[in-house]
Every structure is written in C-alpha cells, then in structure tokens.
Structure 1
Amino acid sequence: MRTTGTESAETTGTTGTTARAGRRLTVTVGVTAAALACLATLSACGPENNGDQTAAPGTTATAAGTAPASGPAAAPTSGAAKPSSAGAAVSKDIPAGAWIDPHAVPLDSTYHWPAPATTAKGVTGTPVFKLQELCHAKLNPDHESLGAGRAAAQAVLGAGGADQWQAQQTLLYEGDPRPSSGVAQSAHLVFDDLREEVKGCAKTLPGATVKVTSPEDANYFAATVTVPQAGGTVVTLHEYLSNPDGTVDELAVWTSTKTGAQPKVAWAGPADADVAKAMDSALCTTLKDC
C-alpha cells in the first residue's frame, strides 16, 4: 500500500528519535564506565600530564634568592671549555659564572684557590665588604638603602691561618643596568663610597696606612692597606674594587702577621689592571654587565 507524505515523515521522525535516544544511551553508558574506572584508579583521573603539571625541581631558598638545591651549573653545550669558576649558583641573580676565575686571583700558583662559586653564600641584607670590616667604615648614610641591592653574596677562598694569605670576593648586584640608568647610578654611588672608605681608612682607624696603586682615572680601584690589630699583629690587605655597571665587585687578599714580621709567602700578584679585568670579564660574560 502506498504511504502518504505525512505518514512517511512521521515514520522518519520516529526512527530519528529512536536513533538519537540510542546514541544518548551509548554516551551515558560510556561516561558511566569512565567514571567507574576513574574511581578504581584515582591516579589516572588527575590533570593531564602535558608538562604543565610536572613538579618543579627542588629548590633551596637563600638570602639572595632561590638557588638550585644541589648540583653544579649545567655544562656549556657549545663545546667550549667549562669555566673554571663553575659551581652552584647562589641565586638566579648571581649565577656561578659571575665569579672571578680563581686562576686570576693573586698567589693562585701557591694556594690553588677554589672556584669562588663553590664556596659562595648569599648575604642577608647589606653585605660587609672586607675593607669595611678592617677599616671600621660604613656607607654614606644617604646611600645606606643602596647597600643591600637586589642580591649579594660572598665567597671565602682558602683556610687562611697564621702568616698565610686568604682571599674573599664580595658581589653586590643592584640589577640589570640596561633597562634603567638608575641601576648603574646606584652601583656607582656604592662603589664611590667604598673607594673613599679605603682612602680614609687611616682616619677611621688610627695607625692604618693606605697606598693607592691604581691610576686616578682607572675604571677600577686598587690599594694596599695595613691595619694594626690588638695583640701586636698587623693585617696587610690588597684591595681590588670594580664596578662595570650594575654590580659592585670586591676582591680582598690579606694576611695577618706579627708587627715587623713577613708572611710565609711573599706577595707576588699580577698587575692590578689584570685582576680588575678578570673580575669584570666574568660579570660581562654572565650578567652582560659591561
């Protein structure tokens, strides 16, 4: 029997409704099965492991920032020789490569200084530079707020001991000087204060002597300072200060001897300019502070 158009449409509509209902039933069963599987294996139903949810490596908070919990800095991938100053970074602001090459530190041929990065520690607040400790000096009160910088760290090299030389490097990082000239100005103000503190050591500590060994127009500062101590000893300090732009860098090499006595190892340092160049080179290469 021939069906009418209306009957055909009704039949078709009924068939389509039945099909859609069947699909909904299939989807519902599939979702239910997935939910049951999820309850059975909880770990499989967490956020997708697409890389964004991967836990970050363990880190250790330091005074100067957040540093890797352990392990040396990654080796260069360019095939270049690994820097001798490689070691753990103090913070993202003072990475391992920012420290001077230990072979450039005076008397390395005798003391074989360790890489500063391997002994470096973050400094809380304002660091005390070696020259300030010996000369009992402080920053200009107008510049005290600049003394903490963005990050600071110190590295002591060698165990020292009676009549032996010891070295220490201090880095005060004010920040990247490229976006703002104010950062460089802050670092220069601290550098200028430290230089004047060395020159005025005899005023803050009677009996001290100062011999400036760098040219007046040099972009670094170097001096030899002798400081009498209680108990009849004298500290002899060879002081190097550098300030490429956003960082104030001090390298201090000193010894303590009885008054009138000589250290066990005679002083034999390279030219002041060479030491300063090595200090600046590390900062320029690593922090682009040139």
Structure 2
Amino acid sequence: MRTDRTARTDRTAPVDRTVATAVAAAAAIACLGTLSACGPDNGGDQNAAPGKAASPAATSPAGGTGAGAPQPSAGAAKPSAAGSASAAGTRDIPAGAWIDPRSIPLDATYHWPAPAGAAKSVAGAPTFKLQELCHSKLSPDTADLGTGRAAAQSLAGAGGPDRWQAQQTLLYEGDPRPSSGVAQSAHAVFSDLREEVKACAKTAPGATVKVTGPENADYFAATVTVPQAGGNAVTLHEYLTAPDGTVNELAVWTTGKSGAQPRVPWVGPADADVAKAMDSALCTTLKDC
C-alpha cells in the first residue's frame, strides 16, 4: 500500500507544478496590464485638461486674486507665504509670478512695494477691480472658470482722496502645456472681463470707458471713470492679459472730485510695456508664455 501511494504522488506532482506556473504567469501579465493602463503614478490620460480639484504642479504655484486659488472658495483671504516652496495641494501663487514693482505706473512717485509681500490667496472666485467698480460679473457661460486652480491679489498704496492705488490679481487656470483646454479657459475669462469693461456704462450708470490698447493686441488696456456717491469719481487705468494659463489684471486707480484732475498727474509707460512687464514674471516662474 505504501508503494501505491508513493507512485500516485509522483504521477500527480508534475501536474501541480504546471498549474502553479500557469497561475504565476497569469498574475504577472495582469500586473503588466495594470501598469500599462495607469502608469506608475496612476496618472491616467496625461493629455486631458487638468480637473478643477487638482492642485498645480510643483513648478506652478509655490509660495505666496483675481479669482480662484488654483481654486479659491468663498471666505477670508489668507496672507500668502511668498517665496516658500509649495507642497502638493497648496493653492498659493509663487512670489516670482508678480509684476516687478518698478514697472507699475507711477512708481517714480509711490515707489510701490513688491506685490508678493502683500499678496493674499483668494478662496473662491476673485473679484477683479474692474468688476468691483463696474458692478459686473462673469457671464453664466464663463462663471464656472472663474475660480481656476489658484488665485491671489496684492494691493499697494494707502488710498484716500487723490492718492493712487495699485492692485494686481492673478487667476491661475493651470499648466497649459499638457492641454490646450487650459489656455482656452484663461482666454475665455480674459475675453469676458474685456467685454465687462467695455460695457461698464451699462452696469455702472454714468461711467465712461476709453479703450487705449489696439483691438487686435494680445492685451487689453482702458481708462475708466466711474461716478461715486457724494460727487466723487474713480479714475481707473485697467490692464488685462492672459498668457496661456493665467488671467492677469493690473488696476491703478484714484478717487477724487468728479471732473477734477488728480493731484498726482497720471504718468505711465506705454500700454504694451506694462502688459509685457505683467507677463514676463509669469513666463519665467510658471513657464506661462
């Protein structure tokens, strides 16, 4: 009987080893299929437009409005950690993305501080200065793009009668290199904001608008005057650009008696030079050019 059992065992052993080898091979093939489909970082389709909830790449926002902190949401703005490295999920705009203060109009008089030092992240869609003065907002077709992936604002100047102030707002939609959809989103918001300025007299009765930049330029510039209560008026010099994945607003304004000239006369570089300075920092820091 012992001899029979031994013989039976010897006959079945090769079959068992064959089955085990087949199972191991099938598992290896399944593993390879999974890696091919998702990649080691589970990234999926690398050419798809970034989702709203995704955070900017490490080469994008790093320390630090417009709208959206590479997704802002409603709530109090938080001071940005300008210049600090951003961890995954951080929604700040990097310190290097802001305009050189020496390029802001009227710097010879006001010696503007670096915008990064006063920058605040925006939670939710930011309110651009032009929207605040013109009482306007993004159209329903564009509103869902108004939060982007990150947004921040920086205000300079003490304000008060006859004193100029400057504010830059950055709305980061994302890195435009993986997908043209990101650039299209930024340009859609840019176009909407441009039309809001042109229509300011409809949303802010009594406002006047003078477009100063060429119609076919890759930037928009205008001078807007908006009456205020008590016989005052705000004079705004508005600059807008959208270099690929970022909407960029620079607003310089003063409040004074309606019809009166500002105490400090307006002196500014050519519109094209201001727009170039606005975008050069983004190009260097976010590769947004």
Q: TM-score, normalised to structure 1's length?
A: 0.70
Contact 2:93 2:121 in 1 (8 A): no
- The superposition leaves residues 261-287 of structure 1 with CA deviations (integer Å, 9 ceiling, x where unpaired) of 221100000000000000010000000
Runs of 4+ in structure 1 off by over 4 angstroms are 69-72
1:70 Cα deviation after fit: 8.9
Alignment of 1:105 onto 2:110? no
- The superposition leaves residues 201-222 of structure 1 with CA deviations (integer Å, 9 ceiling, x where unpaired) of 0111111000000001100000
The 1:183–1:70 alpha-carbon spacing in structure 2 relative to 1, beyond 3 Å, is closer
- Distance across 1 between alignment mates of 2:267 and 2:70: 37
Alignment of 1:190 onto 2:195? no
Aligned residue number for residue 149 of structure 1: 148
Letter in structure 2 aligned against 1:64: A
1:92 Cα deviation after fit: 5.9
3-state SS of 2:126 partner: coil
Alignment of 1:245 onto 2:244? yes
Aligned residue number for residue 73 of structure 1: 83
Letter in structure 2 aligned against 1:247: T
Contact 2:212 2:221 in 1 (8 A): yes
- The superposition leaves residues 232-272 of structure 1 with CA deviations (integer Å, 9 ceiling, x where unpaired) of 10000000001010000000000000112221100000000
Contact 1:93 1:173 in 2 (8 A): no
- Structure 1: tracts of 5 or more residues without a match: 1-59, 75-90
Aligned residue number for residue 164 of structure 1: 163
CA RMSD between the two structures: 2.4
- Distance across 2 between alignment mates of 1:171 and 1:153: 6
Q: How does 1:1-20 map to 2 (within 5 A)?
A: none
Q: How does 1:194-205 map to 2 (within 5 A)?
A: 194-205=193-204
- The superposition leaves residues 86-139 of structure 1 with CA deviations (integer Å, 9 ceiling, x where unpaired) of xxxxx5651000000000000000000000000000001000000000000010
| Larger RCO (CA within 8 A; separation ≥ 6) | 2
Contact 2:162 2:255 in 1 (8 A): yes
Alignment of 1:137 onto 2:142? no
- The superposition leaves residues 169-224 of structure 1 with CA deviations (integer Å, 9 ceiling, x where unpaired) of 00000000000111111101000000000000011111100000000110000000
Contact 2:226 2:235 in 1 (8 A): yes
Aligned residue number for residue 265 of structure 2: 266
- Distance across 2 between alignment mates of 1:71 and 1:187: 24
Q: Percent identity?
A: 76
Aligned residue number for residue 173 of structure 1: 172
Letter in structure 2 aligned against 1:268: V
The 1:181–1:93 alpha-carbon spacing in structure 2 relative to 1, beyond 3 Å, is farther
Contact 2:70 2:171 in 1 (8 A): no
